A and B are shown apart, each in its own frame.
Chain A
Amino acid sequence: AQKITQTQPGMFVQEKEAVTLDCTYDTSDQSYGLFWYKQPSSGEMIFLIYQGSYDEQNATEGRYSLNFQKARKSANLVISASQLGDSAMYFCAMRPLRSGGSNYKLTFGKGTLLTVNP
């Protein structure tokens, strides 16, 4: 079984500053994928960034980077130069990467509500 823990129910950041959203995970799988999704107030789920457990380098996508520390089982999302439009709910998720298993099934955390202040 897989489990995602997001310990920050809410976070505040000033516009143009960087912010880190925490995510820890638990799994018995050797290979897995980690995802971050953004859910603005309009409700849609927007894919942000992906990290494979076998990737040696941390993933980056524009202002988003994933601070992956495998030994600590953490996959924190770093947003640089925050913008007002970044205010949203952020979900960390994972799925196993193994043949023959339920590797299509995403497990989500409960999310962190980020508010960017002007």
Chain B
Amino acid sequence: NAGVMQNPRHLVRRRGQEARLRCSPMKGHSHVYWYRQLPEEGLKFMVYLQKENIIDESGMPKERFSAEFPKEGPSILRIQQVVRGDSAAYFCASSRFEGTGGSGNTIYFGEGSWLTVV
């Protein structure tokens, strides 16, 4: 089984440009999460999506950031007008069910997308 697939692995953008990060969940998983890892920090929750629905975006910055998970295709995390502070690793994760317990609902992560804003 293919794991969580993210692309691009590395992305360089100039200040003011848009960054678009893609994530395809594991086969059979319909729950997608995005996390951000700033340098020397642990991961921080950004947003939780199911197909065509944003369930929880409480960790997303209010401006410039958006996420979607369309009926067809990968989930997209979009950052408009990037600034240097957006430089980070962005991880996508997926799970089979929403967290209702048990190791069977382990959340699996992709390899991350490293955004560098110059």
Question: B102 to chain A: which residues have CB within 8 Å?
Answer: 52
A102 interface hit (Cβ, 8 Å): yes
By a CB distance below 8 angstroms, the chain B residues around A35 are 106-107
Q: Mark A88-108, 1 if CB is under 8 A from B, else 0.
A: 000101011101001111111
Contact assessment for B100 and A97 in the assembled complex, using a CB-CB cutoff below 8 Å: yes
Contact partners of B103 in chain A: CB under 8 A: 50, 52, 59
Interface residues on B, range: 20 to 34
**A37 CB-CB contact with B under 8 Å:** yes
CB of A118 closer than 8 Å to a CB of B: no
Determine whether A21 belongs to the interface, using a CB cutoff of 8 Å to chain B: no
Query: B31 to A108, Cβ gap below 8 A?
Result: no
A52 near B101: Cβ-Cβ < 8 Å: yes
**Are the C-beta atoms of A47 and B42 separated by less than 8 Å?**
no
Residue B14 is within 8 A (CB to CB) of chain A in the complex: no
- The answer to whether A44 has its CB under 8 Å from any CB of chain B is yes
Query: How far, in whole Å, are A96 and B104 apart by their CA atoms in the complex?
Result: 15
Min CB–CB distance A43 → chain B (angstroms): 5
Contact A110 B41 (CB under 8 A): yes
Q: Which of B48, B101, B108, B111 contacts A43 (CB 8 A)?
A: B111
A44 with B110: CB separation less than 8 A: yes
Interface string of B48-85 (1 = CB under 8 A from A): 10000001101000000000000000000000000000
- Point out the residues of chain A lying under 8 angstroms from B93, CB to CB: 45, 106
Shortest beta-carbon contacts, A-B, top 9: A108-B42, A45-B109, A103-B99, A44-B111, A50-B103, A104-B99, A97-B101, A108-B43, A105-B45
Binding site for B on A (CB under 8 A): 4, 31, 33, 35, 37, 42-47, 50, 52, 59, 91, 93, 95-97, 99, 102-111
Instruction: Please list the residues of chain B having a beta carbon within 8 angstroms of any beta carbon in chain A.
Output: 31, 33, 35, 40-45, 48, 55-56, 58, 89, 91, 93, 95, 98-103, 106-112, 114
